Each structure stands twice: as C-alpha cells, then as structure tokens.
Chains A and B, each alone.
Chain A
Amino acid sequence: MASTTSKSYYWKGFRDGTPFIFVAIPFGTLFGVFATETGLTIIQTMAFTATVFAGAAQFAALQLLQDNTPTVIILASALAVNLRMAMYSASLTPYLGSAPLWQRAFAAYLIVDQSYACSIVRFEKEPLMTTPQRMAYFLGSVTPITPLWILATFLGAVLGTKIPESWALDFALPITFLAMIGPMLRTMPHVVTALVAITVSLLTVAVPYNLGLLIAGCVGMMAGAQAELWTLKKEATS
C-alpha cells in the first residue's frame, strides 16, 4: 500500500503549499511587468521565469541589468542571491538523499523557498515518513504554485507596457524585497547580517561594476556567522 500512502502525502503537501499562491501570483505578475519594463521580450521573460524559477534572483538580475552592470557581475550577484537554494538542497539531503537519482534531479529544480519551508517542517515533525512519502509531500507542496507562477508572469509581461509611469513601479522591487526581509530577521545574527550588509552597501556604492553588492554581501555573511558563534559562546558560558 506504499503508493496509496504516498498519494495521501502528495495531497497533504498540496494543501500545505496552497496558501503560497497568494505570494506566487502577485510576485509573478510583478516580475512579468518588471521584465517587460526592462526591455525583455515575452519569450525571454517566460524562458527566464521557467528555467531560473527563483523570484528574488530574477528580480536582482533585472535590477542590475537596468543599471548597465557587466554580465559577469549580474550572474555572480544573482547566483549569490540564490546561494540559499544550495543551503536548502543541503538541508533536504538527509531526508530525500536515498531517492533514485532521477527523482532527486527533478526535485532539485523544484527547490524554492516555499517547498523547502513546508517540507522541512513536515519532515522534522514526522520522522517516520518513508523516502517515497517525503518525495510525494515535497512534490505536492510545489504543485499549486508552479503553474500559477508561470501564468502570472505571462499576464504581467502582457500587461507590462500598459502600466503608466505615475504608478511608481520603480519602487515595487525595493518594497517587495524589504517585505521579504522583515520575516527573515528571526534572530540576532540575522539582524546583524542585514545591518552590516546595508552599511557596507551604502559605503561601497561608488565601487565600479556594482561590486559593492558582492562585497557587502560577503561582509554581511561573515558578520552573521561571527554573531552566531558569539551567541553560541554566550549561551554556553551563562
């Protein structure tokens, strides 16, 4: 009966992932609009959104493109934004690592903030789940958002050019990212990371090729890691 229980886990994942459509739809639309504003064709926009499949990195790349940043720096910066996917991949490995390679290769494409967040909570809560059940749950959790994300991007790209300048869409990206940052600031090291990164990015704004972003990102990460070590030490001694 393994397939039956896998099926029920698929639907469990589906249910847990459904609320995220309220993030995927507006965010996807916004990306479509922003991509069109930047000058991408609909084919480029759709290829981008379907293959990269990571909103934050896609937005980051477009923003840098508008600032006439060299291609290498755009790639490095957008991939840096996506480094967290590597962390998600690492964190899911103990749970899904024993699945067949083709399943893992497929699952890798579907690692996004939402599927990771749902799955890791469920896997930790139910340690007795089998690997097929976990895989089914993971797949279920991204099923609602993937098609809607792609469809919303398409609608945004079609509507994009019709949006007047007075709507101040230049600021849609900063607001969206800031809104995402708030909930990320869960612990003191996270706050330290953000503050250090902001300070360094403002100080290095004159550095050519937008390299300031990478410098600020690296310094921020190191500050976060050090703050975490410091917190651990303090907990150990008190």
Chain B
Amino acid sequence: MNSVDTVTMWVIIVGLALGSYGLRFVFIGLVGDRAMPPWVLRHLRYTAVAILPALIAPLVVWPTATEGQPDVSRMAAATVALVVGLITKNVLAAIFTGAGTLYGLLYLLG
C-alpha cells in the first residue's frame, strides 16, 4: 500500500468534485436554451474516446506490475477486452472475458 499525502488527496477530491459539478452544470444551468457552435460540440463528442485509450495504452504496453516489461498475458487480456467490447457492445462481458484471459494466461505461463 502506498501512502498519499492527506492535503494533496483532499485538494484532488475537492477540485474534482467542484470541477465535475461545474462541467455538468455549465450548460443545463447557465446556457439555457442558447445553441452552441457546432465545432465545439464536434470536439466534445470525441473527448472520452480520446482520453481513455490514451490513458490505457502505455499501461498495456509497459505494465506497472512487471516494472515496464511488456507482458504477454496482459497484452492478450487487453486485446480480448477491447475486441469483445467492440463485438458485443457489452461492457460486463468484455470485463469478464478480459479478466478470464488474464488469469488463465498468468496461471498457464506462471
């Protein structure tokens, strides 16, 4: 278990709480019925699908648990989770098959 500096942690919690609420409130609360420029919406549409893969990709290629050594079990599990999610559109099915692949291969390969 790591230790996290208490002040840092609360700064992050409070900052994220206020920031997240601000993002949720900004349009429904402040903008009302005014329209937004299409180019803004066009970029907002792709934020989640850009940030999440960018966060994950380095963790898949250079996992923390293996001290950055590429790992067959983790790469395979990642591929399975992505492909199953893509085909079935079912998040839970993807999580379980991905986890199953990881455990299966970690067990087989040691």
Contacts and interface: CB of A to CB of B under 8 A. Distances in A.
Interface of A: 22-23, 26, 36-40, 44, 47-48, 51-54, 56-58, 60-61, 63, 65-67, 71, 74-75, 77-90, 92-94, 96-98, 101, 104-105, 107-109, 111, 161, 168, 170-185, 189-190, 193-194, 196-198, 200-202, 205, 212-213, 216-225, 228-229
Contacts, number: 298
Nearest to A98: B33
Interface of B: 1-4, 8-17, 19-21, 23-29, 31-33, 36, 39, 41-65, 74, 77-78, 81-92, 94-95, 98-99, 102-103, 106
A202 B48 CA distance: 18
A179 B26 contact: no
A170 B102 CA distance: 11
7 contacts: A52-B20, A81-B48, A87-B41, A90-B27, A171-B102, A178-B81, A193-B46
Contacts of A105: 25, 29
Given A170-B64, A171-B74, A179 B94 contact: yes
Contacts of A108: 21, 24-25, 28-29
B50 A177 contact: no
Q: Which of B3, B89, B91 gathers most chain A CB within 10 Å? A: B91
Contact of A60 (B55, B60, B89): B55
A22 B98 CA distance: 17
Interface of chain A: mostly helix, strand, loop or mixed: helix
A168 B103 contact: yes
Contacts of B17: 47-48, 51-52
